[in-house]
Amino acid sequence: MALSTGSDSEPLGVAVGNFDSDSRLDIAVVNFRACDVMVFVRYRSQPFLSMTTYSTGNESRPQSMAIANVNNDYCLDIIVANYGNDNIGVLFGYGNGTFMDQTVYTTGNGSKPCYVAVGDFTNDSW
């Protein structure tokens, strides 16, 4: 099965997670040229029937992403490295396959972040 991200979207990264708490894996794709994240949600035994696009900002040029429960609410979130806007964006998940609009955290003027990583860097179980 092929999933379309649209012409000239230039997908650079893909991540898999259970975004809607149904025990089935869903797919997120970060699109460099389209400056967005696409989330493909699978329902029951059906193929991916739902696709939602989330903007990462005008000229953001997202490079990569990671999936994690950033705010400890038991819902997966999407973390995006926005190369063009010198920031990291977080799309906080609702746990039903949808996400809030991106919350932006600056990485400094000219930093051009390319990759993101998640982990428990402070050893506090988060």
Reported as a pLDDT band with limits 50, 70 and 90, residue 126 is confident
Per-residue pLDDT, 43:
75
Q: Which residues are within 8 A (CB) of 64 and not within 5 positions of it... i.e. 6 or more apart?
A: 12, 13, 30, 80, 81, 114, 115, 116
If DSSP codes are grouped into helix, strand and coil, which group holds residue 80? strand
Per-residue pLDDT, 124:
84
Per-residue pLDDT, 17:
95
Per-residue pLDDT, 3:
81
Helices (H), 1-126: none
Per-residue pLDDT, 73:
94
pTM, 2 dp: 0.92
Reported as a pLDDT band with limits 50, 70 and 90, residue 96 is very high
> Which tokens go with 59?
């000229």
Per-residue pLDDT, 4:
84
The residue-averaged pLDDT of 80-89 equals 98
In the chain, what is the straight-line distance between the N-terminal and C-terminal CA atoms, in Å?
Answer: 36
Query: In the CATH hierarchy, which top-level class contains the domain 11-106?
Result: mainly beta
Condensed to tens digits (0 to 9), the pLDDT of residues 23-70 reads 889 999 999 999 999 999 987 667 776 789 999 999 999 999 999 999
Report the chain's mean pLDDT, rounded to a whole number.
92
